[in-house]
Chains A and B, each alone.
Chain A
Amino acid sequence: MNFDRELIVRAQAGDKEAQESLVKTFSPMVFRLISRFFRSREDVEDLAQDVFVKMFGRIDQVRPDENFPGWLQRVAVNTCYDELRKTRRRRIALETFGPREVAEGIVQPPEPQDFGKARLALQALDPKLRIPLILKEVEEMSVEEIARTLSITETNVKVRLFRARKKLAASLGDAKK
């Protein structure tokens, strides 16, 4: 991702314009990543704000020559992980049937029944397994990238992916019976 690394130095010094530019540059990436885990626009926007507030809270840890987008992805995924863990049980129902979307008038095209089952099975997965699977299958990250983003070993990523796929297949198998 191309961006002016000088922006980080200026943002670290408290330059408001540089901070705004960083938000503008990276908000599409952060939104895309959070959209993978949350289906309500409100949730995505709230979490994206949290991510940027955290980012500026820790920006003095960043060295301009480091992989800043990778670091920000890590902050975003960790924020999603914390949120998923907090609200896992409650959200399974809410996100599946999407009452907020209906209430807001954001009507999404109906999806095939199989997709609904797949979504349910995916949402029932532990966030520890769900996040690497989504990063791999939807975000199309490599195992190495996922390991870096989640700060775990590549072996650990492979194990989690294997378990996630196995559980998902088992849930979908059960659903078909």
Chain B
Amino acid sequence: MNSTLNNFFKEERKRVFEPGPYFTQRVMARLSEAVPTIWDVIPRAIRPVMALSMILLFGVLAVQILVPVEPAGPGPIIAIVGQDLSNVEYTLFVDPTEPSAAEFDLLDFTP
């Protein structure tokens, strides 16, 4: 390395800041101001398990929210309204099973 750099580094060794008289108090004040988050309350050893379980929980919740669940049977409204429907209307609008061609032909569509 050239002499300029060596001299420069030598000078740099002399350039040091010392802590001021109130530095410790400032640090302690900052420490007491710090608001503990939920992660500070949870012991460090439990954090990875906690994080993993939260990811899984949010994952399941996200799937449940984003992917609509198809109802297994008729809902409460259809159950009530369905009582007033004719056989044909019930087959066409409510019955979740698709009628076979033979069943369809048997339906009477006359009003």
Q: Which residues of A are in contact with B by a Cβ distance under 8 Å?
A: 16, 19-20, 23-24, 27-28, 31-32, 34-36, 39, 41, 44-45, 48-49, 52-53, 56-57, 60-61, 111, 114-115, 117-119, 122, 134, 137-138, 140, 165, 168-169, 172
Contact = CB atoms under 8 A, between A and B. Distances in A.
Contacts of B12: 36, 134, 137-138
Contacts of B104: none
B27 A52 contact: yes
Given A60-B44, A61-B44, A114-B4, A53 B18 contact: no
Interface residues of B, number: 26
B17 A35 contact: yes
Contact of B17 (A24, A31, A111, A118): A31
A113 B16 CA distance: 21
Contact of A49 (B9, B11, B15, B26): B26
B28 A20 contact: yes
Contacts of A53: 27, 30-31, 34
Given A23-B23, A140-B13, 5 more contacts: A16-B28, A23-B28, A53-B31, A53-B34, A57-B40
Main secondary structure of the interface of A (DSSP, over half): helix
Given A118-B4, A169-B1, A45 B11 contact: no
Contacts of B7: 114-115
A115 B26 contact: no
Given A19-B31, A114-B8, A31 B18 contact: yes
Contact of B2 (A19, A28, A172): A172
Contacts of B11: 111, 115
A23 B2 contact: no
Residue in B5, B9, B20 with the greatest tally of chain A CB atoms within 10 Å = B5
Contact of B1 (A27, A60, A61, A165): A165
13 contacts: A16-B28, A27-B27, A31-B16, A35-B17, A49-B27, A49-B30, A53-B27, A53-B30, A111-B11, A115-B11, A119-B8, A137-B1, A169-B2
Contact of B19 (A27, A118, A134, A169): A27
A45 B22 CA distance: 11
